[in-house]
Structure 1
Amino acid sequence: MPNENIDLKIGVCIDHAKLHFLNKFPESLPIENAYLHIGMFLGWLIDSELTSEYFEEEAETEIFRFKLRDLSPMILSEIWGGALTHSLINEKGNNFAHHYYCSGEYLKDYELTLANGLPSIYHVKDSWKNYQKISDILDKRFEKWNHAQ
């Protein structure tokens, strides 16, 4: 389990569920819903083999269960404290995350792909069908970014 306090202090946190559920989060939803968009991206990083050696060692069981689709993206994010940090991602993944996630493009794609017609991004259902939809978008964005490099 990562030390969230260290990661947040030195500014290596890309996103954190806390930033969402302490902000404009719908009171009618369970707090776990703030973890989903982060878990979807983290799951895609796992499936795309863009995770760091540190994460692969520390989360071996969680990664295995995620790949078996026995551990949902929301639960994956919860287990890691809702933090998406640079320490979980390899160099290529970090470069892409900086370009795509940190620019706000990921949340725009997430909203258009999964939350279209819903009251907010936090109303998206934690399902493998939704994970596949956003993964397809992420694959396209990554391929485009990768070819531009």
Structure 2
Amino acid sequence: MSTYDDASWHYGGDFPAELPGKNGATHTGMFLNWCIDKDLISDELKEDVPEEIEIVKRREITGAEFVMDAMDGKFSEHDLNTMGNSFAKDYYKDDTDFGNRFSSFADDYVNLFDTKAEENDYEYETFYHIEDTYENYDLMKQVIDYRFEEWKEYKRLN
């Protein structure tokens, strides 16, 4: 079973000491929150943590909080259904044909929030300083929605 991401990969090494470890899962949480919203999660995940999924759907916790609390900081193939995994393998993973032709999740994430920061005359100190908020998720959701439509055309699923 392939792991897409693990917060511990991020909060070691160069991770800013002043930030909570949860910030290592902000980006993952946004993608997984989107997968929950689109019902691209696995039946097993739905069975394992149904209450937590509902809490995310009600926006009572963020995707990053869900990743850290319900998934021990890890995001893997086990968490998505067939369609979700197919999309994640092309978009969430780095250096894929789809990502190279269109964009990857990480590139979209950085570009979106760099643009937001520039428009508001500030700069994020690091990738990990992007705020884990539903305001930011709603911005990222629009980008992922767009990429998902591109991906379905790329895969000839429409």
| TM norm. shorter chain > 0.5 | yes
* Pairwise CA distance, 1:23: 2.9
Q: Which moved more, 1:89-98 or 1:26-35?
A: 26-35
How far did 1:75 drift? 0.8
Output the CA distance in 2 between the equivalents of 1:76 and 1:41. Answer: 12
Higher relative contact order (CA 8 A, sep 6+): 1
Question: What is the percent sequence identity of the aligned residues?
Answer: 31
Q: How many residue pairs are counted as aligned between the two chains?
A: 139
Q: CA RMSD in A?
A: 1.3
* Unaligned runs of at least 5 residues, structure 1: 1-10
Choose from 126, 129, 140 the match for 1:134: 140
Normalised by the size of structure 2, how large is the TM-score? 0.83
Q: Unpaired segments of 5 or more residues in structure 2?
A: 96-103, 118-122
Match of 2:65 among 75, 86, 93: 75
Structure 1 residues 11-90: aligned runs within 5 Å: 11-79=1-69, 80-90=71-81
**Does residue 116 of structure 2 align to residue 95 of structure 1?**
no
- Look up the SS of the partner of 1:84 in the other structure: strand
- Structure possessing the higher radius of gyration over alpha carbons: 2
Equivalent residue letter for 1:18: S
CA distances 1:31-51 after superposition (whole Å, capped 9, x unpaired): 221111111111000001100
Structure 2 residue matching 1:14: 3-state secondary structure = strand
C-alpha distance in 2 between matches for 1:27 and 1:71: 23
TM norm structure 1 = 0.88
SS in 2 for 1:15: strand
Q: 1:125 aligns with which of 112, 128, 131?
A: 131
What letter corresponds to residue 126 of structure 1 in structure 2?
Answer: D
Runs of 4+ in structure 1 displaced over 6 angstroms? none
Q: What residue is the counterpart of 1:6 in the other structure? A: none
Please give the alpha-carbon distance, in whole angstroms, between the structure 1 residues aligned to 2:35 and 2:49. Answer: 13
